[in-house]
Structure 1
């Protein structure tokens, strides 16, 4: 496929772009109002990148446009997303793309209020050090990994699972789309009060995530009162 990422300088978007490139897809991207270190990081990925939003950035043979969800990118007035829709090109989000692409992998989702980037990177590093060509998606730059996103050729996939919503028109948590077979829950402290005003509302997606595991699935939980509560 030919995939264009509008908002490629987001940490998650850049990681998914790398993952899709490693999977063999043609990848391009665009963004605006981006500064170092993310602009420098994205320029180092070796992808065609434009630093302004313009319909002309879209490849002629585009198959999918992945639209960032930030306030400056996720609205209906995004010129690239509008142009893609007018051309009949599918517009989606990175969590949807990741969920679809990894549905048949052995997904380990690393979730929690804090520590998830570190633990996801550590899990990917351990597998890589043991000779396992795993895939991964990490929403931060790790000095121990060659990239923030990788497709890999082994069934194992490590996915940092963000509890924040997919976008303004999709109130599901991002990790709800990731089909976990294994789950690491690092922590649970009330966060993102703009979309989860109460702690009960914040906990709810984690409860659903735990209950989405298959019967043969594995959950590894931090021994903490709030984590024990959602697992009860």
Structure 2
């Protein structure tokens, strides 16, 4: 069967292409921007990518066209598909029907930390012999690629609230039907498709409604938006945890909730504990309280499928991070250059806080590129 993917160089669609190729499909694709690292991954997988939107890219005619959410009416290839009546679907729909069926889906959602949390969770499962499949919007260094089918029933996915396609305006994560759902946090973002925080909360309510009764929703206690979402209805078990992030960061005590206690201010060493009992200890190269938050969520999600906290923490001690997440690119004459993907004021602040804790008293210079649609619209101007 021949699949042609429109927008194939996007992080999600490119990863989808890798999964389809691994399943034995013939895969080709089109995109306007063909460049590494995704173009390199696709080429290594033997996937032909055509640059631009010429209708000739669909000759010979594929059996199915998968249309990315960045494409809409007026795109020459989209119009060609519609005019010719070619079979088409969205990426999330295809994933749900051809990869996620009969899998135990563990989804990492939220405004921040999805890529890192899902990478941590996939590595925890891999380290503990569970051989999960995964699809992540980045390249975890422990794996070296952004997606694979895996050899078990478990599948880890970065679950995005962005819309599915021009013909399906539901959030992508509604298609995934997770049994284990992490909601890392909820803030206003994606101002190009959402008018308010309430609109975003509604989409999270929709995904919570898809979690089965034997499933679990994991979230930071005290996150107001998440609490509002769950108050609308949750039919599975809940696992709140104490986040180490924020001005009033919660510390584990006698609350009965699991949390993280920092051993070093920069987050490079910490323990996970509950009711005074240490469940595991992590010493790693990552920095920042936000990464400790992500780690806590990943450890607890792994616990839901039977991985002991101690064994999960052992995996995290060998977690090598994700490309473009606080990446140390170079060091010269005492100056260290980092690259980070953060594009929301909260995420940027968390990254800078981690660096400040790692380099106390040192001068810190931040250069911000407003790449997301929300940033380009100036919605977060005051927050910056």
Same fold (TM over 0.5): yes
> Which residue number corresponds to residue 54 of structure 1?
54
> Which residue number corresponds to residue 159 of structure 2?
161
CA radius of gyration, larger in: 2
Gaps of 5+ in 1: none
Q: Does 1:230 align with 2:212?
A: no
Q: Say if 1:84 and 1:171 are closer, same or farther in 2 by CA, change over 3 A.
A: closer
Which whole-Å CA distance do the structure 2 matches of 1:46 and 1:125 have between them? 26
> Which residue number corresponds to residue 137 of structure 2?
139
Which whole-Å CA distance do the structure 2 matches of 1:53 and 1:168 have between them? 17
TM-score by length of 2: 0.56
Which whole-Å CA distance do the structure 1 matches of 2:23 and 2:154 have between them? 14
CA contact (8 A) 1:187 1:224 kept: no
> Which residue number corresponds to residue 100 of structure 1?
97
Gaps of 5+ in 2: 232-384
What SS does the aligned partner of 1:194 have?
coil
What SS does the aligned partner of 2:3 have?
strand
What SS does the aligned partner of 1:192 have?
coil
Which whole-Å CA distance do the structure 2 matches of 1:200 and 1:77 have between them? 30
CA contact (8 A) 2:41 2:145 kept: no
Which whole-Å CA distance do the structure 2 matches of 1:127 and 1:91 have between them? 34
Q: 1:91 aligns with which of 83, 88, 96?
A: 88
Q: Say if 1:201 and 1:85 are closer, same or farther in 2 by CA, change over 3 A.
A: closer
Q: Which has the higher contact order (CA 8 A, sep 6+)?
A: 1
* Count of residue pairs brought into register by the alignment: 229
Which whole-Å CA distance do the structure 1 matches of 2:203 and 2:107 have between them? 13
RMSD across aligned C-alpha pairs, in angstroms? 2.0
CA contact (8 A) 1:124 1:158 kept: yes
Which whole-Å CA distance do the structure 2 matches of 1:22 and 1:44 have between them? 12
Q: Report the Cα offset of residue 6 of structure 1.
A: 1.3
Question: Aligned runs of 1:206-221 on 2, under 5 Å?
Answer: 206-221=204-219
What SS does the aligned partner of 1:27 have?
strand
Q: Does 1:34 align with 2:31?
A: no
> Which residue number corresponds to residue 177 of structure 2?
179
Structure 1 residues 57-66 or 165-174, which shifts more?
Answer: 57-66
CA contact (8 A) 2:73 2:166 kept: no
CA contact (8 A) 1:175 1:209 kept: yes
